[in-house]
Amino acid sequence: MSPAWRCRTEEFAMADYPDNYQYTAEHEWVSVDGDVGTIGITHHAQDELGDVVFVELPEVGASFEQNAPFGTIESVKAVSDLYAPVSGEVVEINEELVDRPEIVNEDPHGSAWMVRIKFSDPGQIDALLTASDYQALTQE
Amino acid sequence: MSDIRQTPLHNWHVRQGGRMVDFAGWRMPVQYSGLMDEHVAVRGRAGLFDVSHMGEIRLRGNDALAMVQRLTVNDASIIEDGQAQYTAMVNDEGGIIDDLLVYRMAADEYLLVVNAGTTAKDYQWIESHLQGDVTIANESDDWAQVALQGPAAAAVLSRVVELDLATIGYYRFVVHQYGGQPAIISRTGYTGEDGFEIYLAPAQATEFADAILEAGHDDGVIPAGLGARDTLRLEAGMMLYGNDMDENRSPIEAKLGWIVKPDKGDFIGRDALVRQKTEGTAERIVAFKAVGRGIPRHGYTLLDGQGNRVGEVTSGTFSPTLKEGIGMGYVETALASAEIQIFIEMRGKSVEARTVKPPFYRRQQ
């Protein structure tokens, strides 16, 4: 585990949430590129879960309604559902998570993305949280 | 519940970056650098745990041994001064009130080390059964306790206390001193590694913990929390009171028959346990590993090959050492032996598991 993620100062947390991502109260992020969104879990979520040991993802081609569970993530101490931040069809999954689930702890907002979903209702994106809204939520 | 309590090491935990949670009425560190880091440190080097939440109850007097014999299932008459014994207190039906360590301090003095969440209950139970020349003292507030566990534990501890630790065998202890105050150094633990549990005056705990980390710095000794303590004990096949044992389970069902000694004479629960030993019990605890990906968790349902419910997971985790899901739980006795296929209902899915003979992990000697 890299020393960087052990650092839990406010400064690190503030700097760590990309402004160009959207966030959900279920601790997921979405990075939008046209009609496709890349989805992962937040730094806060991985920190709460602790050492991630399994990530179970859907098949490419599967469709999910907004807020429906699309997979699960397990750490040593807990298991959690992954919820679709928006409705749509899975067009790609991150196969690397099968063999290297620990990257969720190391790089939650980057290489540990989980799925790419083609939006069926792009309007849902606008209702998601901004980086500052999300951080306010996690600091409540 | 009364207020949440803090151990004498509370500020030390905060300084070390401990993530504090409520456990058994105490504010305790669940982890510092990370559960996996801490688990690996204990298996390969050493980790320092605060276990000050544990309770200490002292019995003194000419009838102290008779009292211990009446209250516990093991035969305390066979241990010598400076020796500890793993045992249990049970009720008349054989249900486990607590599992504990009995330390023989002297022929007429025994120290009982009990679980945090059961200390008050245990004290009342013992007090209500006192007979003869014996006094009881709840010393739980008078002791801090830390555990230094791992292959480097003896080397590191020897730099902090002036004692020849090689003379302290497994389940033996020495009454020593630290900072001018009494200290008990005991070669016991709850991790499956070599190591020590050290009982200290509360005022000395912080200095001692700092001294251990400093003396163990080059050996990679780090503080370890309750999270790693739980994964370490489960890999070692050790049960946790409240999860794997409670008043509705007997030592026989918990496969602790080896600590039940009916030949020592009468004790509370003896008749029930003798009957269970001869007639058997409907259920027993069993250890299992998930086949493939899947992590047993406390409360998950256990199924047989036909999908019938046969029990429940009492403890489960991902094993950091074995890299697979491990657990234990009570099942009907026919299924409670090794190499049997069972299934675990995990969030709506039935996942195959295989029963195994514990421990899951045994250290190299």
Binned at pLDDT 50, 70 and 90, residue B2 comes out as low
- Domain end among B219, B235, B251: B235
Mutation pick from A47, A53, A57, A81 vs chain B, by most beta carbons of B within 10 Å, is A53
Q: Is B165 inside a domain boundary?
A: yes
Phi, psi of B329 (to 5 degrees): -175, 170
Phi, psi of B218 (to 5 degrees): -70, -20
CB of B225 within 8 A of CB of B233?
A: no
Of B33, B36, B293, the CB nearest to A76: B36
CB of A114 within 8 A of CB of A62?
A: no
Nearest to A104 by CA among A82, A87, A132: A82
Binned at pLDDT 50, 70 and 90, residue A11 comes out as very low
| pLDDT top residue among B26 and A8 | B26
> Both B18 and B159 in a single domain?
yes
Query: Quick one: CA dihedral B237, B240, B242, B247, positive or negative?
Result: positive
Instruction: For A100-122, write each residue's pLDDT tens digit.
Output: 999 999 999 999 999 999 999 98
Partner residues linked to B113 by β-bridges: B56, B101
Helix (H) or strand (E) run with residue B14 in it: helix B10-15
Task: Give the CATH number for residue B36.
Answer: 3.30.1360.120
- What pLDDT does residue B364 have? 84
CB contacts of A56 in chain B (<8 Å) are 293
> Both B103 and B162 in a single domain?
no
Mean pLDDT in residue range B189-211: 98
**Length of chain B measured in residues:** 365
The shortest C-alpha distance from A51 to chain B (Å) reads 6
Q: Is B125 inside a domain boundary?
A: yes
Q: Count CB-CB contacts under 10 A for residue B352.
A: 15
Pairing of strands B195-200, B181-186: antiparallel
Q: Is B121 inside a domain boundary?
A: yes
> Both B39 and B94 in a single domain?
no
Mutation pick from B222, B233, B318, B323 vs chain A, by most beta carbons of A within 10 Å, is B318
Helices B226-235 and B35-44 pack at an angle, to 10 degrees, of 50
> Both B357 and B230 in a single domain?
no
Q: Is B231 inside a domain boundary?
A: yes
- Domain end among B235, B257, B292: B235
Q: Does A50 touch chain B (CB under 8 A)?
A: yes
Per-residue b/e over B27-54, b at no fewer than 16 CB within 10 Å?
Answer: bbbbbbbbbbbbbbbbbebbbbbbbbbb
> Both B44 and B63 in a single domain?
no
> Both B36 and B161 in a single domain?
yes
Q: Is B36 inside a domain boundary?
A: yes
CB of B148 within 8 A of CB of B198?
A: yes
Domain coverage including residue B74: 55-139
Going from the N-terminus, what domains does chain A have, and what CATH number goes with each? Answer: 16-138 (2.40.50.100)
Q: Count CB-CB contacts under 10 A for residue A4.
A: 10
ipTM of the complex, rounded to two decimals: 0.85
Instruction: For B64-73, write each residue's pLDDT tens digit.
Output: 999 999 999 9
Mean pLDDT in residue range B120-149: 98
> Both B160 and B204 in a single domain?
yes
